[in-house]
A and B are shown apart, each in its own frame.
Chain A
Amino acid sequence: MTDMSYLDGNMMDGPLRELFAVDLSGATGRCENCGMVGPMGTMRVYSHAPGLIGRCPSCAQVMLRFVRSPNWARLDLRGLTFLQVPMPLDQPHPGPM
């Protein structure tokens, strides 16, 4: 039976906008468990829960946990090897001396 109880990773944009200056749905991440690299927007986010749980679309292991209390927000990224965000330099290459 297909489990459709999750949303895609784009739904994290709103909750994480409080934390990050960049839009994470345009970011790329690597799953620490299986090594898959892909857009964070393809994460499977379980939101009917006491927090947001983002799972790898390939191996279903937890990549991201986000808990919001009235006083703090905790982002646990132990399941994520890296996050890569598009960030072009204003001047791609410094000119010659």
Chain B
Amino acid sequence: MHRSRKTLALAAAGTSAMMALTACAGGADPAEEVRQITWVINNVPSQWASTSGAGGSVYTVQMLSGVVPNTGTYLPNGEYEFNMDVLAEEPVLINGDLDEGPFQYSFTLHEDAVWNDGTPMTAEDLRVTVMMTASPSEGYCTTCDPRGSATEDMIDTMEVDGKTLTVTLKEGMADPEWTSLFDFASAGAGFYPSHLAEENGWDVEDPDQLGEFYTWLHDTRPEWSGGPFQIVDGDLTNQVVKEPNPEWWGAETQVDRIIHPFNTEEGTFVTAFANGEIDGANPAQYSEDVILGLQDLPGATVTVAEGSTWEHIDLNTENEWLADVELRRAIFTAIDRADIAERLYGTGYPDYELKNNHIFNSDSEYYTDYIGETAQGTGDTEAAIEILEEAGYELDGDTLTLDGEQVGPLRLRTTDTDIRSTSVQLVQSHLAAIGIEANIEMSDDLGGDLTEADYDIFQFGWSGSPYFAGSAHQFWHSESGSNFGSISNEDIDAAAEAANSAPTLDEAAEYSNEAVELVVQEAYVLPILADPNYFFASDRVAGIEDNLFSSFRATYNIGEWALAE
């Protein structure tokens, strides 16, 4: 009797505790008290500013959305929109005709534009941002390590006149993408408050002191803001919390708080979403299991669309066999891209589209289909063997030979992801059909292996961007550090250089397409397709949509987010 009374008491205490916890947990839901959205950033940003190499990830950019002001962005439909909250007028091209004089343009900030401490935004903010994002070799800043050079050493002068910055390029130089200098895709994903340098005692004209300001911006959680939200809490480990910027002069924000938890494990999205802990995310990686799990949940909107990273197969022209362009053409002809795409995305994203231009997507006004004009990527084994036989190769049983010597074996490399592993296995079988033995080797050091050209065939991905003028130069110019397989073609070099320094986007596109056509003829890089990305959001939020043209993704219009009525 004594024992059973004790047991009963224990059970009662346990039940009471559970009931109390249940009641308290229910009452503590802050989402019911404030208009709050919890939007996941699916990795941990490493710094508080996005201009540096280490800080310049999409995760930092998304964390700072609505805080760092910028001058424009591409919209989800692919159209470009200037940010007229920040700008007084669209940027002005003062002179684009190099025969008339130096290339010159100006940006004028909105009259009402202020930082959240009430200090007006001025052209000095723009100038100092350029100084911090320019190459260190330009001399503005000794210790700045920007993720890209904002100016590529082209700027001659920058004149500050109140809210207007006038930029003049060096003689004979032009920049077709000059309007992007302070937009979403710029090195800083916007511009920074220069007055804080002075407030903290740094002289921005001193390269060492500008470096200290730069470090401070990256090291210090920003209390400053020039957008609709400001960061009020958080760290670079768990999450950040944003609340409306009281000095914001644009349209009033519709939510009281936005929480960005950093979540590195996509496998948790389904349960966290079902549990009401998160309202959505725009993950960087494609995950079929997660997509299918989310699609089964009530109240979830899930979209899958072509992302910005495109997969491609590169050949190393320094390999003794692959130096022969005919062999390269045969290899690309034997590879069946449709087979690869169907196996990878046939279930989760059946609307995939094969990529037939390295630089432009099919919805771009500059798109021309160059791959489709050839047999490359078709998996046409007979055509591939024909190319080989015409070039003097012989298929001896299951082995391809040249002058009696076996071709290969070739080292086929990629990084160890499910998608790439499957893809290279298929490529291996495609090559076996034309008598080429390819041995798969996984790479755990993508950058190192590419830089050292430690491969014969490599599948990896490039991140695409609506900005394209420098792409051909980076990928294929004989002096580019990213021309890993060492293609060397004077015509490609000339086209890439011309694209990079064309005065207009139309001309830059023309030269870029010329470079693409030449690269296809060289059978150097075979694009497969753009990796799809997914996005999911709860039906309790409104105004949120994915933007695959911007590294901000869904946060590109964070000032317009709201709760559904």
Chains A and B come from one and the same complex: no
Report which B residues bind A (CB closer than 8 A): none
